[in-house]
């Protein structure tokens, strides 16, 4: 049994060799298959969990591959295994009134999560950060500032979506999706 706390989420990615580059989105949606259809990747999928999808993990690649699975009822997670996540797709996926968050870490730099509400990019409401601050989520993790910053953001996302990252997060059934070239703009 690990002595890890629920707020120490970044270590799961470090342990699995997935912390070199991190890009993940969470979208409010009824089911992950609907999200795969909205991503326009339904022709290019493979059923697997994230542990299995790690074989396709390439920190920097020209091929866009995303693993899509249920996060919690009403929420879907989309972890980028290779290339870039088509973040412009979040506008389309959320047009029916849902929310989406996108968090990334590249080349030693964490980007603050971005937020889409009903198809519109918005600032994240300030009270969104209250609970992770109160819980000390930014103080958890290795002495690395990146680990602490990622734990803070991942905790905020967990409080919103109702599920923290743990071993089960990696074994949830999902679909590995290759996003065909030209499907989404890269700007």
Model pLDDT, residue 143: 62
- As a whole number of angstroms, the distance between CA 101 and CA 87 comes to 10
For 73-122, write each residue's pLDDT tens digit.
999 999 999 988 888 899 988 877 899 999 999 888 999 899 999 999 99
Backbone angles phi, psi at 87, to 5 degrees: -60, -25
Residue 185 has pLDDT above 90, yes or no: no
For 17-56, write each residue's pLDDT tens digit.
888 889 999 999 989 999 999 999 878 899 999 999 999 9
Model pLDDT, residue 1: 35
Helices (H), the chain: 10-15, 32-38, 50-53, 89-93, 130-135, 145-161, 167-171
| Predicted TM-score (pTM) of this structure | 0.91
CB count, 10 Å around CB of 135? 17
For 151-164, write each residue's pLDDT tens digit.
999 999 999 999 99
Average pLDDT over residues 51-76: 92
Residue 183 has pLDDT above 90, yes or no: no
Domain boundaries, the chain: 10-177
The terminus-to-terminus CA distance of the chain in angstroms comes to 44
């Amino acid at each position: 049994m690990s002595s890890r706390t629920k707020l120490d989420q970044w270590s799961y990615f470090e342990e699995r060799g997935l912390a070199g580059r991190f890009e993940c989105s969470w979208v409010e949606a009824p089911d992950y298959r609907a999200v795969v259809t909205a991503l326009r990747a339904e022709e290019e999928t493979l059923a697997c969990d994230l542990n299995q999808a790690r074989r396709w993990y390439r920190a920097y690649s020209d091929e866009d591959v995303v693993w899509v699975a249920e996060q919690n009822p009403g929420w879907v997670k989309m972890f980028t295994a290779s290339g870039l996540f088509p973040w412009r797709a979040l506008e389309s996926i959320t047009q029916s009134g849902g929310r989406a968050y996108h968090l990334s870490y590249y080349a030693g730099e964490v980007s603050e999560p971005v937020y889409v509400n009903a198809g519109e990019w918005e600032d994240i409401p300030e009270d969104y950060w209250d609970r992770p601050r109160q819980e000390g989520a930014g103080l958890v993790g290795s002495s690395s500032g990146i680990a602490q910053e990622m734990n803070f953001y991942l905790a905020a996302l967990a409080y919103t979506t109702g599920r923290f990252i743990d071993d089960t997060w990696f074994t949830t059934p999902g679909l590995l999706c290759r996003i065909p070239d030209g499907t989404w703009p890269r700007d």
